[in-house]
C-alpha cells in the first residue's frame, strides 16, 4: 500500500487533476454562471462572484479571449 503513495506517477496525476480543475473546470462554470445571472444577481451573490473571480483569476484570463459576455440586445434596427 505504501508503494501507491510513494509513486511519482500518482503524484503527477494528482497535480494535473488539481490544476485542471483550478484552471479549466471552475472558471468555465463561473463564466457560465456570470453569463446567465449577471442582470439578476443580488448584492451578496455579486460579492461572492467577485470573490470567486479573484480566486480563479488565472483560469478566467485563459478563457477571456474566447468568451463573449456582452448583452445580446433587442436586435431591432
State the pLDDT at residue 1: 56
What tens-digit pLDDT sequence spans the chain (77 residues)? 566 667 888 889 999 999 999 999 999 999 999 988 888 999 999 999 999 999 999 999 998 888 777 777 666 65
Q: Half-sphere exposure of 13 toward its Cβ, with a 13 Å CA cutoff?
A: 7
User: Coil, strand or helix: which one is 66?
Assistant: coil
27 class by beta-carbon count within 10 Å (0-12 exposed, 13-18 middle, 19+ buried): buried
Return the pLDDT at 75.
64
Q: What is the pTM of this model?
A: 0.77
Asked if residues 10 and 4 have their Cβ atoms less than 8 Å apart, the reply is yes
Which pLDDT does position 4 carry in this prediction?
64
Rounded Cα gap, residues 1 and 17, in angstroms: 21
Amino acid at each position: 500500500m505504501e508503494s501507491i503513495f510513494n509513486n511519482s506517477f500518482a503524484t503527477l496525476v494528482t497535480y494535473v487533476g488539481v490544476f485542471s480543475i483550478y484552471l479549466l473546470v471552475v472558471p468555465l462554470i463561473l463564466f457560465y454562471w456570470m453569463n446567465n445571472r449577471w442582470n439578476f444577481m443580488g448584492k451578496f451573490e455579486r460579492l461572492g462572484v467577485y470573490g470567486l473571480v479573484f480566486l480563479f483569476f488565472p483560469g478566467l484570463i485563459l478563457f477571456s479571449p474566447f468568451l463573449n459576455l456582452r448583452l445580446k440586445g433587442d436586435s431591432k434596427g
